[in-house]
Amino acid sequence: MSTCRIAHAFDFGTYAVMKSLLESEGVAVIHAVFGGHLSIAGVDQGYYLEVVETDRGRARTLLWENSFGEYLVEADV
């Protein structure tokens, strides 16, 4: 089972809303992946949404259609 990161949020509240949206539509969010790098400059801190590779397109579409497009991971565009 291959997984991929599709979105990133800096705060847990936004992460939780996106996770709830995806799960309510039947997309399983694997787990919260915290960008826990030691970050002197503030880079990469926050929460990633990780889903099964086969759900990637559907999950991205759901987030985009519900005004969460700004949180989509650029590398996945």
For the chain, the domains span: 3-76
Write down the H helix ranges in 1-77.
Answer: 12-24, 56-65
- CA separation for the pair 66, 34 (Å, rounded): 23
Compute the average pLDDT of residues 62-73.
Answer: 96
CATH number of 3-76: 3.30.70
**Residue 15 burial (CB < 10 Å; 0-12/13-18/19+)?**
buried
Buried b vs exposed e over 19-57: b needs ≥16 C-beta within 10 Å?
A: bebbeeeebebeeeeeeeeeeeeeeeebbbbbbeeebbe
| Tens-digit pLDDT profile for residues 2-33 | 888 999 998 889 999 999 999 999 999 987 66
